[in-house]
Amino acid sequence: MLIRSLTLATLMAFTGPLLAADDNPLKQELGKTRPLVVVELDAGNPTLATLKKQLEEAAIKQSFEERSMVFYTVKFGSIGAEGEKFAKDPKDSKKLTPPETNALIRALKLGVGSGTKVILIGKDGEKKLEKTVPPD
């Protein structure tokens, strides 16, 4: 856990000045959608896989779409953070670039921890719910 925290801090320290341009993907969603962001800090935690599987169920998918929601994921691995956006329209789904992923992480102000964080953001851009699922 300490190594991950140090890796994240080092990554942010070196890339912060390079990423001065605001590439925050959440700004594009402001007033349009309700982003649900899942940040997987521990690769072994099944929360992200479970949520993805549940979103494939017809009833949940329909509710997700009715509420104008999009789904963002951030996974920390050995080479840093990787982000993805899943939207109702497949052409809007995409892998986030490293600057977009880092901007998303900065915007969420995650802090240090372990487990998986699930964050619901309202159309107004404010956090409405933040839960941490501890590692197994």
Residues 77-112 pLDDT 10s: 656 677 888 877 777 788 888 898 888 888 888 766
**28 phi and psi, to 5 degrees?**
-70, -25
The full set of domain ranges for the chain reads 2-133
Query: Average model confidence (pLDDT) for the chain?
Result: 80
pLDDT given at position 126: 92
Confidence of residue 13 (pLDDT cuts 50, 70, 90): low
Average pLDDT (55-70) is: 88
Burial 53-71 (b: 16+ CB within 10 A, else e): eeeeeeeeeeebeeeebbb
pLDDT given at position 127: 92
Average pLDDT (38-52) is: 79
Q: What is the pLDDT of residues 14-43, one digit of tens each?
A: 555 554 456 888 898 999 999 999 888 766
Collapsing DSSP to helix, strand or coil, 33 comes out as: coil
| 78 token code pair | 């050995």
| pTM for this prediction | 0.75
**119 phi and psi, to 5 degrees?**
-130, 125
Contact in structure between 50 and 40 (CB atoms under 8 Å): no
7, amino acid identity: T
Q: Across-strand partners of 35?
A: 70
Q: Look at domain 2-133 and name its CATH class.
A: alpha beta
pLDDT given at position 133: 82
| 124 token code pair | 């107004």
Nearest alpha carbon to residue 47 among 83, 7, 74, 26: 74
